[in-house]
Amino acid sequence: MVTDFSIKPVGAPVASPVVKPQPDAAKQAVPTDLPPPKSTTAADGANAARNNTQQPDTSHLSSQVMIDRAAGEIVYRVVDNRTSLVVRQYPEEARLRARAYLRAEDEAKRTHTRVRLDQTA
């Protein structure tokens, strides 16, 4: 007798509707009539609330792509055309300096480790 078996569903999964029962307080609530100045209406769900209602003006920004040869990396920058200042950069300047330093160390190790040893006795 085989004890292992698996049951696999056939067809597409069906989503069953979830019906939440009303709380007792809502069932026993008394409807109220308020004058229009004191009443409220539900917010329109189509317009999502946002803190930033104005779109930023990006007409003065330009994207630049350059190669940092010391670090051996491609650098992506967003530059303000009016002030020629870098707004965003990836990778950051500190990371580029660290990569350039480590790359220079690796080059120094390669040039100094090629010492021929005398293996004759």
Q: Is residue 95 a part of any domain in this protein?
A: yes
- DSSP string computed for 29-95: PPP----GGG---PPPTTS---S--SPP--TTEEEEEEEETTTTEEEEEEEETTT--EEEEES-HHH
Read off the pLDDT of residues 54-91 as tens digits, 9 standing for 90 and up.
777 778 888 989 888 888 888 899 999 889 898 899 98
8-43 pLDDT, tens digit per residue, is 666 666 677 777 787 887 778 777 787 877 777 666
Closest CA to 103 of 76, 74, 72, 75: 72
* Cα 89 off chain centre by: 16
Q: How many CA atoms lie within 13 A of 117 on its CB side?
A: 3
Q: State residue 76's pLDDT score.
A: 92
Q: Note whether residue 92 is domain-resident.
A: yes
Q: Is 35 among the domain residues?
A: no
Query: What is the number of structural domains in the chain?
Result: 1
| Domain around 89 | 61-111
